[in-house]
C-alpha cells in the first residue's frame, strides 16, 4: 500500500491532508506531538483533531507522537516504510511572529532543523517521493510594506497603477534586506532547504508560500490563525485586540481544502524545486475591519475589541498572493472557496455544531 506522511497532522492543513489521503485509499502516517498546546496554551491543543482523524480513518491512519527535530525517531519511521512512501506533506511548524521572539532557538530548530531532518530522511529512504512544504508569505519580510499603498475607508490597497494591483504579489518579490521577524527567518531557512534538496538531489519538491490559511477545524489563537480566532472571539464574547495600521491591514484567505487541492494537483504531476505563492488572491481577501463586520453579521453579536497603535514587528500592511504561476503550471486548478464570507460562515457553523466554543 502506498504511504503518505503528514507532519503536523493534528493542525489545520495537516488534518485536512490526512483525511484527504486516507479517504483516497492511502496509508497515512501522522506525525504530531501537539506542540501547538505548548506554544499557545491548552485552548490551542490539537488533540481533539487528532482523535477526530483517527476515528474517521481507522486503520488507514497511524499516529506518531514524535518531534520532527528528533532524527532518530524520524529515520525509524521513514526506514520502516521506505519506497512505499510516495508523498510527504510537511505542515509541522512554529507558526507565530510573536512567539518566535520568546524562544528563538525553539522556533528555529523546529522550522529549519526539523525540515532538514525530514528532507534528509526523504533523500535516504524514499528519494522518489514528492515533498510538499507548507511555507509562508512571511519569507518576504516586510518588503510588501514598501509598495505604494493607498488608504481607503476600511482597508489599505496597492495603487492601481502598480503592476501588482491586478493579481497581487508574485514569487519574484525580493526576500532580501527587510525585517522578517525571527519566525519569517526560520521559515525562510526551511523554504530554501526544500528548494536546495530539490536541485541538489533531484527530489520532486514544492514550496507553498501561504497567505492566511483557514478552515473550520483550525485551533486559532491570538498569536496565530486570525479568521478562526476572530470568529472564536465573536462567538464567545472574548476581547479582541487589533494591532496597528488602523485595523485596515489586508490579508488574502484561502480555505484548507483549496490548499490540499493545490498540493495534490502538484503531487499528481510533480516538478522539482518549485516555489508557489498560495492564498485567496484577488478573489478572497479581507481587512481586519471588514472581518470584524463579517463576524458580527454572522453571529448577530457586537464584538468586544480594542485598538493599539503598535503593530506587530515585520507584519504586513497589505498582502494578496499572485496565483498566476501555479495556475499557469496547473491550469485545471481553481479556488473552490472564493469568498472570505463563506469561510467565516463555515467556521461559525462547524464550531456551533461541534459545541467547541459554546
**Dist. CA 318–CA 169, nearest whole Å:** 10
H helix and E strand count, the chain: 13, 15
Work out whether strand 285-287 and strand 250-255 pair parallel, antiparallel, or are unpaired. Answer: antiparallel
What percentage of the chain exceeds 70 in pLDDT?
A: 97
Query: Is pLDDT at 88 greater than 80 in this prediction?
Result: yes
The residue extents of the domains of the chain are 3-353
Q: DSSP letter string over 138-164? A: GGGTTGGGGS-EEE-SS-EEE-TTSTT
Distance CA(118)–CA(75), nearest Å, equals: 8
Cell output for 92:
509541522
**Are residues 73 and 65 in contact, defined by beta-carbon separation less than 8 angstroms?**
no
| Closest to 193 (Cα-Cα) out of 133, 278, 270 | 133
Say if CB 198 and CB 273 are below 8 A apart.
yes
Q: How high is the pLDDT of residue 79?
A: 98
Per-residue pLDDT tens for 124-141?
999 999 999 999 999 999
CA angle 192, 229, 45 (to 5 degrees): 75
Return d(Cα 21, Cα 270) in angstroms, integer: 17
Q: Does the structural domain 3-353 have CATH classification 2.120.10.30?
A: no
At 1 the pLDDT is 85
Q: Given CA atoms 100, 105, 109, 112 in this order, what sign does their dihedral have?
A: positive
Beta bridge partners of 254: 213
Rounded mean pLDDT of 297-326? 94
Q: What are the tens digits of pLDDT across the range 238-282?
A: 999 999 999 999 999 999 999 999 999 999 999 999 999 999 999
pLDDT band at residue 321 under the 50/70/90 scheme: very high
Task: Please say whether the beta carbons of 76 and 125 come within 8 A.
Answer: no
Amino acid at each position: 500500500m502506498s504511504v503518505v506522511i503528514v507532519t503536523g497532522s493534528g493542525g489545520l492543513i495537516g488534518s485536512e491532508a490526512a483525511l484527504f489521503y486516507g479517504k483516497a485509499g492511502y496509508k497515512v502516517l501522522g506525525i504530531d506531538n501537539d506542540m501547538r498546546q505548548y506554544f499557545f496554551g491548552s485552548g490551542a491543543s490539537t488533540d481533539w483533531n487528532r482523535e477526530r482523524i483517527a476515528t474517521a480513518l481507522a486503520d488507514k491512519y497511524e499516529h506518531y507522537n514524535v518531534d520532527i527535530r528528533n532524527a532518530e525517531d524520524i529515520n525509524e519511521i521513514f526506514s520502516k516504510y521506505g519506497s512505499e512512501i510516495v508523498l510527504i506533506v510537511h505542515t509541522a511548524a512554529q507558526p507565530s511572529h510573536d512567539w518566535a521572539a520568546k524562544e528563538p532557538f525553539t522556533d528555529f530548530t523546529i522550522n529549519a532543523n526539523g525540515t532538514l531532518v525530514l528532507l534528509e530522511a526523504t533523500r535516504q529512504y524514499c528519494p522518489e517521493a514528492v515533498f510538499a512544504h507548507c511555507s509562508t508569505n512571511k519569507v518576504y519580510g516586510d518588503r510588501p510594506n514598501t509598495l505604494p499603498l493607498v488608504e481607503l475607508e476600511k482597508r489599505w490597497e496597492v495603487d492601481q497603477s502598480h503592476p501588482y494591483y491586478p493579481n497581487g504579489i508574485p514569487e519574484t518579490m525580493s526576500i532580501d534586506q527587510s525585517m522578517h521577524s525571527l519566525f519569517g527567518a526560520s521559515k525562510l531557512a526551511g523554504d530554501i532547504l526544500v528548494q536546495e534538496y530539490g536541485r541538489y538531489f533531484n527530489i520532486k519538491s514544492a514550496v507553498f508560500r501561504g497567505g492566511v490559511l483557514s478552515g473550520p477545524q483550525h485551533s486559532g489563537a491570538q498569536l496565530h490563525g486570525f479568521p478562526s480566532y476572530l470568529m472564536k472571539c465573536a462567538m464567545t464574547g472574548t476581547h479582541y485586540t487589533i494591532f496597528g495600521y488602523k485595523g485596515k491591514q489586508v490579508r488574502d484567505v484561502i480555505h484548507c481544502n483549496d490548499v490540499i487541492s493545490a498540493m495534490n494537483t502538484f503531487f499528481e504531476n510533480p516538478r522539482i524545486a518549485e516555489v508557489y505563492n498560495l492564498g485567496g488572491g484577488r478573489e478572497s481577501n479581507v481587512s481586519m475591519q471588514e472581518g470584524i463586520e463579517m463576524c458580527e453579521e454572522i453571529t448577530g453579536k457586537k464584538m468586544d475589541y480594542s485598538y493599539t497603535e503598535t503593530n506587530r514587528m515585520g507584519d504586513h500592511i497589505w498582502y494578496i498572493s499572485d496565483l498566476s504561476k501555479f495556475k499557469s503550471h496547473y491550469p485545471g486548478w481553481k479556488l473552490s472557496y472564493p469568498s472570505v464570507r463563506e469561510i467565516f460562515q463555515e467556521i461559525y457553523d462547524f464550531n456551533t455544531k461541534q459545541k467547541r466554543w459554546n
